[in-house]
Amino acid sequence: MATLQELQLKNEGIGEEFSTADLPEQERGRITLQPGVYRFQLPPAEKMANAWVPLENQTVPDGKGGQIDGVTRFAVRFNEDCPLEIVQSPNNERNGQAFRWFCSNRERARNKDRTKVASDMDYVIAAVLGEKHLKRGDNPRYAALFTECAGKQFTATVSIGWYSNPKSDIYAVFEDEKGETSVQPVEGVHGDGKRYYARDIGTDEHGLYPTTVEHEIEVADGGEIVKYTQILWGQNDLSNFKS
pTM of the model: 0.80
Closest CA to 120 of 209, 240, 229: 240
pLDDT digits (tens, 9 = 90+) for 131-182: 999 899 999 999 999 999 999 999 999 999 999 999 999 999 998 888 899 9
> pLDDT higher for 168 or 31?
168
The predicted model gives 191-199 an average pLDDT of: 96
> What integer pLDDT is reported at residue 27 of this predicted model?
44
Residues 34 and 90: beta-carbon distance below 8 Å = yes
48 phi and psi, to 5 degrees? -85, -10
Phi, psi values for residue 223, rounded to 5°:
85, -5
Q: Which residues, in sequence order, are bridge partners of residue 184?
A: 172
Among candidate residues 135, 131, 139, 130, the one with its CA nearest the CA of residue 104: 139
CA-wise closest residue to 31 among 127, 75, 96, 91: 96
Q: Rounded mean pLDDT of the chain?
A: 89
Q: What is the pLDDT of residues 71-105, one digit of tens each?
A: 999 999 999 999 999 999 999 999 999 999 999 99
- The dihedral region occupied by 6, where left means phi > 0, alpha psi between -120 and 50, and beta the remainder, is alpha
pLDDT score, position 148: 97
Residues above pLDDT 90, as percent of the chain: 77
Please write down the long-range contacts of 138-141, taking CB distance under 8 Å and 24 or more positions apart: 139/72, 139/73, 139/74, 139/105
DSSP β-ladder status, 153-163 and 195-197 = antiparallel
pLDDT, mean of residues 23-32: 54
Residue 26, pLDDT above cutoff 60: no
pLDDT beyond 50 at 28:
no
The DSSP code sequence of 121-157 is HHHHHHHHH------TT-HHHHHHHHHHTTT-EEEEE
pLDDT of 39 strictly over 70: yes
pLDDT band, residue 42 (cuts 50/70/90): very high
Q: Is 94 exposed, middle or buried (0-12, 13-18, 19+ CB in 10 A)?
A: buried
pLDDT tens for each residue of 212-243: 999 999 988 878 899 999 999 999 999 999 99
Residue 44: partners with Cβ closer than 8 Å, 6 or more residues away: 150, 151
What's residue 220's pLDDT?
84
